[in-house]
Amino acid sequence: MENLVPLSTTDARLLRVVTLGTGVKDNITSIQTILRNAQEVLNQAQDDLLIYDRLLDTDSFEELRGNLRHLWNLIQHDVDLAANQPNGLPISAHSYRLAKAEAKGLLASCKSLNTRIKDVCQRARIQEYDMEGNLKNHQMRRAEKV
């Protein structure tokens, strides 16, 4: 420990600036990753919605599709903003924190909508099975397996 030379104030500031720059740049990738994850969740939700659109009533389908479109536009706006920043870096640490919080909020909203779409589609499938009488047969086959 005696061999370590204490950093001068200037060296310490320089070290802090260099490390902050790399940390912020690494975290920007994190924001972009969050936004990509949100896009993937929305793609899955859209696929589910399109697969079961014939089972859903028009109002539910239009509402869910409108929510999908709205979230997709918000995510695309954030992706475009990140792409327009010089070197991919936000202007300040404050704007970085806001961007990351917004990206996390969008991801949570996408996951919530995806869960809602899966739930609505599952209920629609169950209703279809009830109409065809297949649900009882399915339950009987399931009970036999157990």
- In whole angstroms, how far apart are CA 104 and each of 31, 90, 100, 101, 107? 8, 16, 6, 5, 5
pLDDT for the residue 17: 54
DSSP letter (8 states) at residue 8 = P
CATH code assigned to 9-145: 1.20.140
Q: Where are the domains of the chain?
A: 9-145
pLDDT for the residue 1: 45
Contact of 121 with 44, CB cutoff 8 Å: no
pLDDT for the residue 144: 64
Q: Give per-10-residue mean pLDDT for the chain (146 aa).
A: 51 55 53 89 92 86 93 90 66 76 92 93 82 60 60
Contact of 79 with 107, CB cutoff 8 Å: no
